[in-house]
């Protein structure tokens, strides 16, 4: 038996990259998974991969910023698995520019994805978290549920050209601290992981030369300048960026039973990058 055996985990942005590594880690510990991705193909591909690992998994495809997404996401878990144990607000992207060139559209797109969407998901989960805790208490069970919000070292230190992203991710830390105080009475641990540079398709040097991803009909540039990646490695005490699996490990720490007396905290999974 794994440490998450039978738990129901909902992870946004889990069809690819860090999100996929998170659900694979959870699945290896026995969790049942609700996979989300903006696009259907990676979501369903991930579901099939999880099923081959011997776990139950379903997909909830769609943009986390859609007004109806939160209820649909939570509803998928309840319909498929009759419960919720873990929610990871992982979906995100960057749309960078210096402040004088940043449009209102850029600002609100990033705020909506990184702050409004998690807020709606957690609000939609509230009555179910309350009811599940009441049922546990009535049955004499002590069950801890887990919320992990994803932030960034850009929130902790700031980053030039990321006014929108740094602000949104700082807001996620505030959201985490507030909800930890609100939901502690339901035995819900609410914590935050702030990633440093993690090597994914969004940060790859190979993608730097004009590569884009389509989000909400917008073509958003992805990839980092190779010189920036080299500078990061030189400044990081570990001498490199992280892998999606290492990022997933940081999230898993807050979802394991060993974290039952930890709440309202933020840890940086960043190789001590300052």
The answer to the question of residue 216 being in a domain is: no
Determine the straight-line distance between the first and last CA of the chain, rounded to whole angstroms: 38
- Residue 7 carries which DSSP code? -
CATH number, position 84 = 3.40.50.720
The answer to the question of residue 57 being in a domain is: yes
Tokens encoding 141:
């069970």
The answer to the question of residue 214 being in a domain is: no
Please check the confidence at residue 45 and state whether its pLDDT lies above 90.
Answer: yes
The answer to the question of residue 226 being in a domain is: no
pLDDT in tens, 69-110: 999 999 999 999 999 999 999 999 999 999 999 999 999 999
Tokens encoding 240:
């490199």
Burial of 79 (0-12, 13-18, 19+ CB in 10 A): exposed
The answer to the question of residue 256 being in a domain is: yes
165 is catalytic: yes
Edge-to-edge strand ranges of the sheet holding 86-89: 57-59, 32-35, 8-11, 86-89, 145-152, 188-195, 266-269
- Report the pLDDT value the prediction gives residue 273, as an integer from 0 to 100: 62
Task: Please give the residue range of the domain that contains residue 114.
Answer: 8-195+243-269
The answer to the question of residue 120 being in a domain is: yes
- Report the pLDDT value the prediction gives residue 209, as an integer from 0 to 100: 57
Measured CA to CA, the distance from residue 111 to residue 115 in angstroms comes to 5
| Long-range contacts of residues 154-157, Cβ cutoff 8 Å, at least 24 apart | 155/194, 156/194, 156/266, 156/268, 157/274
pTM over 0.85: yes
8 Å CB contact between 180 and 190: yes
The answer to the question of residue 71 being in a domain is: yes
pLDDT in tens, 203-231: 765 545 567 788 888 888 877 777 777 77
* Catalytic residue of the set 108, 165, 252, 261: 165
Residue with the two structure tokens 């607000």: 89
Please check the confidence at residue 274 and state whether its pLDDT lies above 70.
Answer: no
């Amino acid at each position: 038996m794994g440490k998450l055996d039978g738990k129901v985990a909902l992870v946004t942005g889990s069809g690819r990259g860090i999100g996929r590594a998170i659900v694979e880690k959870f699945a290896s510990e026995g969790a049942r998974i609700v996979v989300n991705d903006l696009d259907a193909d990676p979501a369903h591909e991930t579901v099939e991969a999880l099923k081959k690992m011997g776990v139950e998994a379903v997909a909830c495809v769609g943009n986390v910023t859609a007004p109806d997404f939160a209820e649909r996401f939570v509803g998928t878990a309840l319909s498929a698995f009759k419960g919720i144990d873990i929610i990871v607000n992982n979906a995100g992207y960057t749309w960078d520019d210096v402040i004088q060139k940043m449009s209102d559209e850029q600002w609100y797109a990033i705020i909506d994805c990184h702050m409004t969407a998690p807020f709606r998901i957690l609000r939609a989960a509230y009555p179910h978290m309350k009811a599940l805790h009441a049922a546990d208490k009535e049955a004499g069970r002590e069950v801890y549920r887990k919320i992990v919000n994803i932030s960034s070292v850009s929130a902790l230190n700031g980053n030039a050209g990321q006014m929108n992203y740094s602000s949104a991710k700082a807001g996620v830390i505030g959201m985490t601290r507030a909800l930890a105080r609100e939901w502690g009475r339901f035995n819900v641990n609410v914590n935050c992981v702030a990633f440093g540079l993690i090597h994914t398709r969004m940060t790859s040097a190979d993608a730097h030369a004009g590569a884009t991803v389509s989000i909400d009909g917008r073509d958003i540039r992805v990839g980092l300048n190779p010189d920036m990646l080299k500078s990061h490695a030189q400044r990081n005490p570990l001498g490199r960026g992280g892998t999606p699996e290492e990022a997933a490990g940081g999230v898993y720490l807050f979802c394991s039973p060993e974290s039952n007396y930890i709440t309202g905290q933020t840890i940086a999974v960043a190789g001590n990058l300052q």
